[in-house]
Amino acid sequence: MMLRSVIISLNKPYFPTLHIKTMPQCSSKNVAVIGAGSAGLVSARELQREGHNVVVFERENQVGGTWVYTPDTESDPVGTDPTREIVHSSLYSSLRVNLPREVMGFRDYPFVVKKRPGSDPRRYPGHREVLDYLNDFAVEFGINGVVRFGVEVGYVGKMENGKWKVSSRKRKNDDGVFSNEEEYDAVVICNGHYTEPRIADIPGIEVWPGKQIHSHNYRVPDPFRDQAVLLIGGAASATDISREIAEVAKEVHISSRSATSGVPMKLPGYDNVWLHNMIEAVGSDGGVSFRDGSKILADIILHCTGYKYHFPFLETNGIVTVDDNRVGPLYKHVFPPAFAPSLSYVGLPWKVIPFFLCELQSKWIAAVLSGRISLPSKEDMNADIEAFYSSMTASCIPKRYTHNMDNYQFDYDDWLAAECGSAPSEEWRKQMYFISRQNKKTLSETYRDEWDDNDLIIQAYEDFVKYIPELAQAQNLPR
């Protein structure tokens, strides 16, 4: 509760004034976009709309980023070995989205059901439906033509002439040499943040004899059959995976900060799932001790503990760093003042509606690069960042929550929209998001298939008709 109230209190000082300045001339830049997931795709579209020349670098052979499912997992199941072959996707086979599709989509390209073989018409569809949506988006706006597929970026750095050097290689060559070097006026980083696992720090883990895995490498429940599993984490993936594993495991024990009862509690509706508070230590006998004094024996520890921001290709000489998962210093989570506007990040915030937020960030970046909108001075941007950081410190908010927008994302979205001259977040989108978030807490087993906000769905589709006129007849809506 303290964290929530503090974050809400940051809204006003964090968005003090708008810095809109229409410039007399707009210029076209050569821009490199790193990554062709949802952030990279919408960035490419907005940059092109603003008149920039865009090249998108994508290490895989298709668009979609983390939404490209693969049964493959990494050689290191906890994902800490720096020499491992990286598997980009963190999807598990059964994953369904945890937001309504009406909320998820880009504003002018709604995420509606398409009548075609294999489509998933559910309001909370599976991951394949999201990938199909992103593929459709890329085709609709001609983005595939500017994507270099199967190309990995190994180096991005500022040159003396003010441009950025981007070194890359075709992955199929696999010679480890990033021999292709090019210069760009600007770089937009959209490489996602669901690839580099964060691992819980557990006292005694070096002598604990069991297996460990991070949810990044979880795909199906079968490997956990008849095992005693300790799952660490309390976010959406932890909730889904724990329920799925419970169908085959002997026992599932969930350790979470949110478990505050002080004693282990059985999860309602399950005979083999228990909720525990934080771990005290693990031992050489396979035991796991909790702070409430209880102890279990576990065969496997499954870390559903999130991810680290990771930009191994980016060289800023220590100016932009990742410190306890704070990427900074960044003005409004996007521009590092020392390099603004030629270096920017899209999609860092979490506990948000990601596609919509990325769309607004991309509009802002594109307009700033063209000179149509100006940024504050470097001094003013740094002062804004320092004020934000100081507020967090004074309120005892850890650095790792810097990009957590759980309770103020719409203030941020609307600030971006105002900067860009766009309409603010739709009221139906806000209400639908908050209702779905509440339902996840109170109806965790059924919220994806039961809801009572049909009036908001109607409002959403009335908006969607602006972009897809044929929806009016299909939904019996007025044109």
Instruction: Give the burial string for 208-246 (b: 16+ CB within 10 Å, else e).
Output: bebbbbbbbbbbebebbeebbbbbbbbbbbbbbbbbbbb
Assessment of whether the complete model's pTM goes beyond 0.95: no
Q: Is 245 helix (H, G, I), strand (E, B) or coil?
A: helix
Q: Using alpha carbons, select from 11, 15, 131, 14 the residue that is nearest to residue 66.
A: 131
Q: Using alpha carbons, select from 106, 38, 144 the residue that is nearest to residue 467.
A: 106
Whether 325 and 198 have beta carbons less than 8 Å apart is answered as yes
| Helix (H), strand (E) at residue 277 | none
Q: How confident is the model at residue 443 (pLDDT cuts 50, 70, 90)?
A: very high
| pLDDT for res 121 | 96
Q: Is 137 helix (H, G, I), strand (E, B) or coil?
A: helix
Mean pLDDT of 382-387: 98
Whether 357 and 412 have beta carbons less than 8 Å apart is answered as yes
- The least confident of 17-26, 210-219, 371-380 is 17-26
What whole-number distance in Å separates Cα of residue 359 and Cα of residue 349?
13
Residues 6+ apart with CB under 8 A from 363: 46, 416, 420, 422
The phi, psi pair for 277, rounded to 5°, reads -85, -160
Q: How confident is the model at residue 260 (pLDDT cuts 50, 70, 90)?
A: low
The phi, psi pair for 158, rounded to 5°, reads -80, 140
Q: pLDDT tens digit string along 231-246?
A: 999 888 899 999 999 9
Beta-bridge mates of residue 279? 290
